[in-house]
Amino acid sequence: MNRAEPIQQPLAVTVDFSENQESLNFRKLGLYVCTYVDLERILNDIKQIKRLNPRAFRYDPGWGFGNDNQFNSPREIDSPQISGTKDDIKINFSGMDQLTSTLQEEMVDIMYVHAYNPLPLQEKQKSGGNMNENLQMRSNWNTMPEDMEAWCELNRQYAAHWREKGWKVKYYEIWNEPDLQPVFFTGSIDDYLKIYHYGALGVKKGDPDALVGGPAISFDLNWIKPFLDYIEQNELPLDFFSYHAYGEPDKNLRELKEILNGYDRFRNIEILLTEYNSYVPATPDFTENGTIEHLQAAPRILHDFTYFAAQKDIKTVYWAQFNDPEVFGKGVDRCGMLDLKGNPKPSFGAFELLAKFPEKGSRLFTDNESVEGIFGEEDGQYGVLVWNMSAENRKLSLEFKNCSKKEYILHLYKLDENNLVSKKPIKPFDTFVITGSSISIKEDLQPYGVIEVILSEREK
């Protein structure tokens, strides 16, 4: 005899907008684009960023990398972007001008990474082979520049160029992950300190209003104290501190803050997490057809960004990455929220829903540990975002209290296996007019699904 399956009782969730809120800040999204994406695709994909409402955009130009269209080779814009000699540096700004002009139109804070070692400053320029054959690179891009005065001048010219154009490049990050060796740097900590020293001074000479920072470390906290000590001893500019983390939103943050708090000058410095992803590189989750490309990435991202929203010390989190790297072949790094053809993945959908949410809000606590959410109010608009961290279907009963006694238009959005994102902006699953201060809706919250409700005052 077959037993009847138990009837699942709806998960009752009450949202009372009159309660004190935590004032979590959900406007912390930045986008990161690496040098493994060519200019044409960057410019095409940028057309989608209005849907995400990011506050910032970080780009790594890959100086000295080259672009020979070979496997595991970057796509340096206008390669070589920097040519000439150390005494007569020549810069081709053509492609970078296109990118910067486009970003200006999108009204995002621009961050350019000043890395790596350009051809004129490499001790040995190679057309074949490499000092590290495992990397399959064809130049000495990750080595120490041989002339620090020339390195300073190079940084000055870039910052001065944007300033003279009247274009605002807000942030300059000196190098990228110098502690991840020998991948991004083959020198010592002392070598990097010189790179920062002359790079930061060069940027400030070119644009005194620019914000310069680093060290963009990947994991080695032992680099932090020598870096800060050097900055203090040499009275160098450091407008922000940057670091990277993958897989755990709280990774190294406590230790980092303890170190910064040991310095009067850096106790309240702006912290930028200039690369973050909910999944870890070089794992199955991070690769083609991995978790990162599927629906379960959406609730995980919302879970992580709720954590970041509560961290008052972190101003911006740059998602790594905006679009897929294009040169690694199958099975490696499919971390972009847009695929190689510009199609949005579920990760894009998570951020698109977050962009519709009020800037400030609070956590929403439920009686089911797999169902999480947030709620908020801004300028008379109310928002509730709920997500399912499990593979189980949940019946959801949402009740809103103390909105106000006005007429509202309710927009209901869904992100699940039946409602995935596309190249077109997300549309409401349902829309209707409601009246009153207490509102109830019932919906199925599918496995790894997301539901968002936005209440806007109806214009008469």
Better-predicted residue by pLDDT, 457 or 191: 191
Q: What is the pTM of this model?
A: 0.93
**pLDDT over 50 (residue 5):** no
Evaluate whether 197 touches 204 at the Cβ level (below 8 Å): no
Structure tokens at 353: 């829903």
Q: What number is the average pLDDT over the span 255-283?
A: 96
Summarised one tens digit per residue, pLDDT across range 308-330 is: 999 999 999 999 999 998 766 66
Instruction: Specify the pLDDT at position 332.
Output: 73
Task: Please state, in angstroms and rounded to a whole number, the distance separating the CA atoms of residues 365 and 346.
Answer: 24
Summarised one tens digit per residue, pLDDT across range 349-373 is: 999 999 999 999 999 888 888 999 9
**pLDDT over 70 (residue 17):** yes
Task: Please state, in angstroms and rounded to a whole number, the distance separating the CA atoms of residues 16 and 196.
Answer: 50
Q: Which element (helix H / strand E) includes 113?
A: strand 109-114
Structure tokens at 36: 């493994």
Q: How far is CA 377 from the centre of its chain?
A: 25
Cα–Cα distance list, 359 to 281, 354, 378, 399 (Å): 30, 9, 7, 21
Q: What number is the average pLDDT over the span 225-243?
A: 98
- What is the share, in percent, of the chain residues with pLDDT greater than 90? 73
Cα–Cα distance list, 386 to 120, 140, 290, 353, 420 (Å): 53, 49, 24, 11, 16
**pLDDT over 50 (residue 130):** no
Which among 161, 71, 153 has a CA at the least distance from the CA of 118?
153
Q: What number is the average pLDDT over the span 227-244?
A: 98
Q: How many CB atoms lie within 10 A of CB 31?
A: 24
**pLDDT over 80 (residue 136):** no
Instruction: Specify the pLDDT at position 44.
Output: 96
Residue-averaged pLDDT of the chain: 90
Q: In this structure, is the dihedral angle defined by the CA atoms of residues 33, 424, 350 and 24, taken in order, positive or negative? A: positive
Instruction: Specify the pLDDT at position 439.
Output: 77
Better-predicted residue by pLDDT, 236 or 378: 236
- Sole residue written with tokens 């269209």: 69
Evaluate whether 320 touches 60 at the Cβ level (below 8 Å): no
Which among 234, 286, 296, 243 has a CA at the least distance from the CA of 446?
296
Instruction: Specify the pLDDT at position 331.
Output: 63
Cα–Cα distance list, 366 to 13, 262, 371, 387 (Å): 6, 39, 7, 11
